[in-house]
Amino acid sequence: MYNRGIRGATSVTQNDEQEILQETVTLLKEIVIRNEIEPEDICSVWITMTGDLDATFPARAIRQLEGWDLVPLMCSVEIPVQGSLPQCIRFMIQVNTEKSQREMKHVYLNDARKLRPDLSTTSN
């Protein structure tokens, strides 16, 4: 068994609590589906948001999902690099798996597709 990282990112259109929570769940569910993982497989989830988002903690949305209440979650502020994508939520999910690094499916949604266009197709 290996510990692998799965990256993901999405964006919101405004600093709104409900939109942040909704997009967080959408991103997580897409990562889970594409990688065929369960909460029990997950070591931890590191979530960052750009400094222009402060309406809520995105981990709140994940903790409310069935089976996710014991998964370790951590929120942080993304490094404020000039010219970087605004209103962005990023994930680093550490998962226990038999899959190779190449088999990990990273997910980029909404404007965050600009961050990794090479990984942003629906077939990855």
Of these residues, 7, 34, 60, 113, which one is catalytic? 7
Cβ 95 vs Cβ 8: under 8 Å: no
Q: Is 4 a catalytic residue?
A: no
Q: Is 75 a catalytic residue?
A: yes
Cβ-proximal residues to 48 (8 Å cutoff; 6+ apart), any chain: 75, 76, 77, 78, 89, 90
Of these residues, 17, 30, 34, 75, which one is catalytic? 75
Residue 90 assigned to a binding site? yes
Cβ 46 vs Cβ 8: under 8 Å: no
Of these residues, 30, 78, 88, 98, which one is catalytic? 78
Q: Is 88 a catalytic residue?
A: no
Q: Is 34 a catalytic residue?
A: no
Q: Is 78 a catalytic residue?
A: yes
Residues annotated within the binding site for prephenate are 7, 90, 108
**Residue list, annotated binding site:** 7, 90, 108
